[in-house]
Amino acid sequence: MYSEKVMDHFSNPRNVGEIPDADGVGTVGNAKCGDIMRMYLKVDENGVITDVKFKTFGCGAAIATSSMATEMVKGKTLKEALKLTNAAVAEALDGLPPVKMHCSLLAEEAVKAAVEDYMKKHPEAVID
């Protein structure tokens, strides 16, 4: 039921772990099935995401979308990261089964929550 790309990211997830001195951390939960995803960001003075890590409690699709989302925002600006959509993550994984689309939403929301946390901690930062 999962594409080869999903299985690849599930069995060898990229950027798993935590960043102890992260600049932004976002945790989101899935109201639908009760799963949880957390993203850690390291951001430089130019607003570029230099490092990102995740922890996920969820299904294969949740783990694979977390992994893919970290790859997609690494090296990007915060502004670019905020534009990440769950559809783009799912597409980058060669698609997800319809019942699993909500898991990719979790990845989008986790990135957004981490960026928001960064903004809260760095009120001087502007995303233009």
Partner 1 sequence: MNLDRIYMDNAATTAVSPIVLEKMLPYFTEIYGNASSIHGTGREARKALEDARRRVAAVLNCKPNELYFTSGGSESDNWAIKGIAFANRKRGNHIITSSIEHHAVLHTCQWLEKQGFTVTYLPVDEFGRVSVKDVEAAITDQTILISVMAANNEIGTLQPIREIAKVAKQHKVYFHTDAVQAIGAIPIDVQEIGCDMLSLSGHKFHGPKGVGALYIRQGTRIDPFMHGGAQERGKRATTENIPGIIGLATAIELATENLEEKSARISSMRDQLIDQLTALPYVRLNGHRTERLPNNVNISVRFVEGEALLLRLDLAGIAASSGSACTSGSLDPSHVLLAIGLPHEIAHGSLRLSLSDTTKQEDIDYVLSVLPGIIDDLRAMSPLYHDFMEANK
Q: Which of 7, 33, 87, 99 is catalytic?
A: 33
In this structure, are residues 107 and 89 in contact, taking their beta carbons and an 8 Å threshold? yes
In whole angstroms, how close is the CB of 28 to ligand FES at the nearest point? 11
> For partner 1, which is the closer residue by CB, 16 or 125?
16
Interaction of residue 59 with ligand FES, rule CB under 6 A: yes
Q: Does residue 59 have an active-site annotation?
A: no
**Helix or strand run (H / E) with residue 120:** helix 101-121
Q: Which value, to the nearest 10 degrees, does the dihedral of the CA atoms of residues 126, 27, 70, 102 take?
A: -110
Q: Active-site positions?
A: 33, 103
Note the residues at the interface with ligand FES (CB under 6 A). 30, 33, 35, 58-59, 61-62, 100, 103
